[in-house]
Amino acid sequence: MPRTAAFFDLDKTIVAKSSTLAFSPSLYRGGLINRRDVLRSAYGQLVYRLGGADHQQMLKVREYLSLMVAGWDVQTVREIVADTLQHVVQPLVYAEAVELIDEHHKAGRDVIIVSTAGADVVEPIGELLGADRVIATQLGVEHGKYTGEITFYAYGDDKAHAMRELADEQGYDLEHSYAYSDSITDAPMLEVVGHSFAVNPDRALRRLATVCHWPILSWTQATALRRRTAFGVRWRSLGAAAVAGGAAAAGLVWVASKRRIQR
């Protein structure tokens, strides 16, 4: 039997909204963003939920992301995420995703979360879900602070490339592996594997899924999530020390400002 894996996008696939934006109130209370940024993030979340993020928006996210987080203290971000993870993420997780993750594990497949969000957000969520690995955006760190340099942006073709690299390293047979996402920007990720699924897809992905005969899944049920570590979580984020403010949604175009964040 070939060794296989199941790759899950995070935002609007496993969780109902942007994982990063969900932490905005906690980042505000921690002094990393100001009140105006919180309001902008709420507006950005609304736009994201209604329309999704297209390619140009995601490129803007990358530009603004580096401006927003430069100078943030890494340990402070990690503590904020750890302290608020259960409260912030638990009500947002789709029960259907949790059940499917369990099914893949029972079938002997590794579960990998592949997200444009930063590893300092994605890794704790992955641990909560019992995932085996994550692929996530990473920023440079010097002297315990984010420099603002994006050393790996887990988006588009780069997601697919990282999946291939991980498959080579771990011996996954991608032709017999699975992938799940909601966004047309993840078309390269879905095309890498033999079993692709569109979850709550945006219009463009729905059209592509129809053409490619990919199953379309509708997930709506929230679940009360407990920490799930029974499967021996082994973190291998493609790049250490990634930004918790890494964006998986166009909403951070509004969250970030061109000036330095008040600290």
Catalytic residue among 9, 120, 132, 182: 9
Cα–Cα separations (whole angstroms), residue 236 to 114, 131, 169: 12, 11, 11
Contact 189, 160 (CB under 8 A): yes
> How far is the first Cα of the chain from the last one, in angstroms, to the nearest whole number?
53
Phi, psi of 129 (to 5 degrees): -85, -10
Nearest alpha-carbon partner for 250 in 23, 55, 31: 55
Does residue 186 carry a catalytic annotation? no
Does residue 11 carry a catalytic annotation? yes
What would you measure as the largest C-alpha separation in the chain, in angstroms? Answer: 54
Q: Residue 240, SS3?
A: coil
Catalytic residue among 11, 37, 182, 186: 11
Structure tokens at 29: 């209370």
Calpha distance 150→167 (Å, rounded): 24
Total Cβ atoms within 10 A of residue 113: 26
Phi, psi of 194 (to 5 degrees): -85, -20
- The b-or-e profile of 151-163 (16+ CB within 10 A means b, else e) is ebbbbbebbbbbb
Instruction: Please give the sequence-ordered ranges of beta strands (E in DSSP) within the chain, or none if there are none.
Output: 5-8, 110-118, 133-142, 145-152, 178-181, 195-199, 216-217
As separate numbers, helices (DSSP H) first and strands (DSSP E) second, the chain gives: 11, 7
**Residues tagged active-site:** 9, 11
